Structure 1
Amino acid sequence: MKFPLKSSVLALIGLVGAAMAEPEVTLRFQHFVSPLSANPTYFMQPWADAIEEQSGGRIEVELYPFMQLGGKAPSQYDLIRDGAIDGGWVIPGYQPGRFPEAEALELPFMTTKSGEEASRAAWIFTQEHLMDDFADVHLIAAHMHGPGIVHKRGAGLGTVEDFSGLRLRGPSRPATMLLEEVGAEPIGMPVPAFPEALSKGVLDGGVITWEMSPSLKLDELTDSHTDVAGDRAFYNLYFIWAMNRDAYEGLPEDLRAVIDANSGLETSAMAGRAHDTGDTEGRDAMAAAGNEIAELNEDETARLREIGDRVRSRWIEEVTARGLDGAALVQSAMEAVEAGRADPS
């Protein structure tokens, strides 16, 4: 099944793009990583370029890395909501407990190792469960990264027991729950703080993607990188690409149509593909540096999946106690993942 743009939207874009114009609107979007990392390179900048081109130059999109416009990564959602910035990249899990339904997609071994597939699942799940949660911003895309990998000093992991006592950075509540269950000491922190914590010996390692490894200098700060066997991710992380609602609604109708034409399912999939490209590059960079590239065997991965099932059960109990239907959310997430794997053509 294809997802064609509505003819009216295409017509509006054609009229807008007929002649390049001076910018009427400048949109300032902010993120918290290096501009050379995968998502800014393969998603954010191409997205910004498409907006500028399809608007005939009437919209200018400025991208600010490393939170250059102010604030901390965990406050990004509120910065967008309050209009301090026009838009940006948000990890809802950086505010534990605020968006609990989104955590269903972040549970252990929930998503496949394809960021593109997982990101289609993220959009599908978001449309069903999260639009009310994000009602005070304008949602453009919802996506996941590729598989989370364990990066650490010293040798790679060979057994579940090798996690015991390791101080490992965790990015989200489900990830830290999993690290607790395997005997590690999870330390929650946003990605910008990860390299310094490694260099100062606060951490033994952490979980993050292949694609972030080069920009975080994990070839220098760690020695090994361990994935799990099979096609399911050890953990994953949920993101949104969003815009201030007033900034969006204040655009003329034809310019809102340009934003709309670059939003939704396939825009989310594009963000996931950016991570897939970066994962290949990041893994190759770590191997080229001489670091150990490890993978837990199928038996040890099966043991981890059993532990992941315990995390899932614990999560269901916790969110159900908060008045949500945890089991139904997990089932819906599983269905979204399967739908995300389907051939969109």
Structure 2
Amino acid sequence: MKTLSIKSLALAGAVAAASWLSSTAVGVAQEVTLRLHQFLPAQANVPKLVLDKWADDVEADSNGRIKVERYPSMQLGGTPPQLMDQAIDGTVDVVWTVVGYTPGRFPRVEVFELPFMMTNAGATSRAYWDLFEKEMKDTDFQDVHIVGTWVHGPGMIHSKTPVAKLEDMNGLKLRAPTRIITGLLGELGATAVGLPVPAVTEALSKGVIDGAVIPWEVTTALKVPELVNNHTEFGGDHALYTTAFVLAMNKDRYEGLPDDLKKVIDDNSGQEFSAFAGSTQASADGPARQLAVDHGNNIITLDEAEVARWREAAQPVYANWVKEMEAKGIDGQALIDEARALIDKYTNQ
């Protein structure tokens, strides 16, 4: 009897151990690690205020079953223009990138980068998400899963020499972030130099460029107020330009998640997240601007009459873009009209 009891206990223990191992194996199988790759230093505003918040929320909402590893400054290799392909081919799981780093590849997105299109980052980011869902999801972005779409705050000019009127642009070599802004700077009389934003600091310090067009918020991380003395802002309701971003996930990685973890990603995606990202990025403009003021730099704000001259000079950018879209079989004017209507809708809410 005693022997039987010992055997029974041993069998029960083996069953319990097998059950524990099985449940553990299932638990491990359900855990997910996502590698998030992007081009800015970890302490820059977007990684610190937007991407870390998104990653922390995903981890918390999944009760720790999803872990988001964060890799700033292209630590996993490649260059900023390669980020989208890294997400598409699964080299990494999630990327944050400037859509225009691959010129012409995502043509419909460019509508939001046209000059004097955007009002504020929150409203424009909401409009961007709406137009993404309607016009871009199954066309430009069919090979990747998009988590968020947003733009930065008002783009402006930071230069070594003052830009107080349109004629001051003549001959300046200015860093441009995207194809659309390259065309804009050309129409305004400057020479555009295409550079990813991390390259701005070295290009300014070595005299490769005379200035850059970027929003205030990123100037601190790039040490721009230490490298130029002049900053030109645009009065009125619309910014000179903005740049379009996406937070993109490998499609197979997303679709392969269990339904409950897919819901965690969904709950941290979409229009509300996009508006949060754009507004949060823009909210860092003020403190960065104050640092330039404290540095004693010259801040120029163009008045309404002067801005009207820039608007007129920028009109060929629209005509050229519509023509380019027509060549691709895209109704560019319809996109412009729809983007403007959506921006107005959310700006006036």
Q: TM above 0.5, one fold?
A: yes
1:335 shift after superposition: 1.6
**Match of residue 251, structure 1, among 234, 254, 257:** 257
C-alpha distance after superposition, 1:67-124 (max 9, x if no partner): 1111110111100000000001121211111111111110000010x21111111101
1:27 and 2:37 aligned: no
- Determine the structure 2 residue equivalent to 1:273: 279
Partners of 1:306 and 1:185 lie apart in 2 by 19
- Determine the structure 2 residue equivalent to 1:3: none
Query: Structure 2 stretches of 5 or more lacking a match?
Result: 1-26
Q: Any conservation in 1 of the 2:106–2:141 contact (CA below 8 Å)? A: no
Partners of 2:134 and 2:280 lie apart in 1 by 24
- Determine the structure 1 residue equivalent to 2:67: 60
Query: Structure 1 stretches of 5 or more lacking a match?
Result: 1-20
C-alpha distance after superposition, 1:106-145 (max 9, x if no partner): 0000010x21111111101111211021111111001111
**Match of residue 86, structure 1, among 82, 93, 105:** 93
**Normalized against structure 1, the TM-score is what?**
0.90
SS of alignment partner, residue 211 of structure 1? helix
Partners of 1:108 and 1:78 lie apart in 2 by 28
Q: Any conservation in 2 of the 1:142–1:239 contact (CA below 8 Å)? A: yes
Partners of 1:72 and 1:247 lie apart in 2 by 22
Greater Cα shift, 137-146 or 303-312: 303-312
**Match of residue 199, structure 2, among 190, 193, 196:** 193
C-alpha distance after superposition, 1:124-167 (max 9, x if no partner): 11112110211111110011111101001133x11100000000
Letter in 1 for 2:59: E
- Determine the structure 2 residue equivalent to 1:6: none
**Match of residue 83, structure 2, among 71, 76, 84:** 76
**Match of residue 149, structure 1, among 151, 156, 162:** 156
Partners of 1:191 and 1:47 lie apart in 2 by 22
Partners of 1:204 and 1:161 lie apart in 2 by 15
Provide the aligned length of Structure 1 versus Structure 2.
321
1:321 shift after superposition: 2.4
1:166 and 2:172 aligned: yes
1:310 shift after superposition: 2.3
Partners of 1:289 and 1:82 lie apart in 2 by 45
1:210 and 2:204 aligned: no
Letter in 2 for 1:245: K
- Work out which of the two has the higher radius of gyration on C-alpha atoms and give 1 or 2: 2
**Normalized against structure 2, the TM-score is what?**
0.89
Partners of 1:163 and 1:54 lie apart in 2 by 49
Greater Cα shift, 76-85 or 331-340: 331-340
1:308 shift after superposition: 2.2
Partners of 2:214 and 2:190 lie apart in 1 by 15
1:338 and 2:340 aligned: no
Partners of 1:78 and 1:340 lie apart in 2 by 32
Q: Any conservation in 2 of the 1:141–1:268 contact (CA below 8 Å)? A: yes
Partners of 2:174 and 2:225 lie apart in 1 by 17
C-alpha distance after superposition, 1:220-261 (max 9, x if no partner): 111111111112110111111011111111211111110000
Runs of 4+ in structure 1 displaced over 4 angstroms? none
Q: Any conservation in 2 of the 1:160–1:182 contact (CA below 8 Å)? A: yes
Partners of 1:308 and 1:124 lie apart in 2 by 26
- Determine the structure 2 residue equivalent to 1:39: 46
C-alpha distance after superposition, 1:279-338 (max 9, x if no partner): 112111111111111111211101011122221122112221232111111111112212
- Determine the structure 1 residue equivalent to 2:230: 224
Letter in 2 for 1:70: G
- Determine the structure 2 residue equivalent to 1:96: 103
Q: Any conservation in 2 of the 1:38–1:277 contact (CA below 8 Å)? A: no
Partners of 1:135 and 1:102 lie apart in 2 by 13
SS of alignment partner, residue 219 of structure 2? coil
**Match of residue 121, structure 2, among 115, 126, 134:** 115
Partners of 2:265 and 2:348 lie apart in 1 by 26
SS of alignment partner, residue 323 of structure 1? coil
- Determine the structure 2 residue equivalent to 1:322: 328
Letter in 1 for 2:213: V
1:342 shift after superposition: 4.2
C-alpha distance after superposition, 1:23-57 (max 9, x if no partner): 81111101101222221121111111111111001
- Determine the structure 2 residue equivalent to 1:137: 144
Letter in 2 for 1:275: Q
Partners of 2:324 and 2:248 lie apart in 1 by 28
1:192 shift after superposition: 1.4
